[in-house]
Amino acid sequence: MDLNLKNKVVVVTGAAGIKGSIGETIVQHLAKEGAIPVIVDRNDRGFTYAEELQAKGIDAIFVKTDLSDASQVEAAAKTIEEKYGEIHALINNVGVNDGAGLDASVDDFMYSLKLNMVSFFAMTKFCLPMLKKAKGNILNIGSKVALTGQGGTSGYAAAKGGVFGLTREWAVDLIKFGIRSNAIVIAESWTPAYDAWIKTLDNGEEKLKSIVSKIPLENRMTTPAEIADQCLFTISDKSSHTTGQFITVDGGYVNLDRSLLTE
């Protein structure tokens, strides 16, 4: 299937994570489709990733940005505007499950909202003129935590809940411009950040086994590649009549009947 993403400018936030993280994987998949990936992140790995892609003849840029700072987000949008003028898709992927729970300070809670939700608003707001130009679309990366809770992570849970609200709000707001807005819901995907989290637990291996055994489809974690494939399909013209949706890519972990687990 040709996704028709060739030469389409696709902005991905939080895309300079360690290789195998979700944003980085999305960028690799975009490059394979001939799209133009724009990496927005604060980590210098983004320079290396952009250079690696350019060395393969792929038009890609890294825009170093602290996404928790709205003025830097505005500057990033300006840089993208000067270089490309329009955006086919904006994938708001940045997110850190930072454990700002009920015992955190109000400032830490506010920071979590800034990074995990306000950055989505700021990117979308400042990129909107370019999205309008290309009749582009928005894809927000959500989390099961907003639906199921996790414990100890009020900031992240609230922010991801807000991300679902914004997804539907923007679908309504932007329908008059033909701009779609959707969210991908992730539950348990094996990324370097997930690996790092498991390693912080005393009983990490046991916990991991327990989680994996409860994922109905094939008792395995979702791969970042499976998430990236769904993202590419959702931003492509092949999903041209899908808007305001929360698309769950989790092997049935959140929504299927729990009795499946005892069979």
By the criterion CB under 6 A, which residues form the site for ligand NAD?
A: 14, 16-17, 21-23, 41-43, 65-68, 93-97, 115, 141, 143, 186, 188-189, 191-194
The distance of closest approach from Cβ of residue 148 to ligand NAD in the complex, given in angstroms and rounded to an integer, is 11
Which one, 3 or 67, has the nearer CB to ligand NAD? 67
DSSP assignment of 11-28 equals EEET--SSTTSHHHHHHH
Question: Residue number with the shortest CB distance to ligand NAD?
Answer: 95
**Cα–chain center distance at 125:** 17
| CA-to-CA separations, 28 to 16, 36, 58, in angstroms, rounded | 11, 10, 11
Assess whether 156 carries a catalytic annotation: yes
Minimum separation from the CB atom of position 167 to ligand NAD (A): 13
Which of 49, 84, 111, 156 is an active site residue? 156
Nearer to ligand NAD, 113 or 115 (CB): 115
> CB neighbours (10 Å) of residue 32?
12
Tell me the closest approach of the beta carbon of residue 46 to ligand NAD, in angstroms. 8
Two tokens at 201? 């637990």
Residue 65 or residue 124: which is nearer to ligand NAD going by CB? Answer: 65
DSSP 117: I
Which H/E stretch holds residue 180?
A: strand 180-186
Token pair for residue 228? Answer: 């990236």
Conformational region of residue 57, where left means phi above 0, alpha means psi within -120 to 50, and beta covers everything else: left
Query: What whole-number distance in Å separates Cα of residue 121 and Cα of residue 135?
Result: 18
Rounded least distance, CB 33 to ligand NAD, Å: 20
Considering the complex, state which of residue 28 and residue 68 has its C-beta at the smaller distance from ligand NAD. Answer: 68
CB of 116 to ligand NAD, least distance (A): 7
Is 1 or 188 the residue whose CB approaches ligand NAD more closely? 188
Determine the Cα–Cα distance for residues 70 and 157; give it in Å rounded to an integer. Answer: 21
Task: Identify the CA nearest to 181 among candidates 142, 141, 139.
Answer: 139
**Catalytic residue ranges:** 156
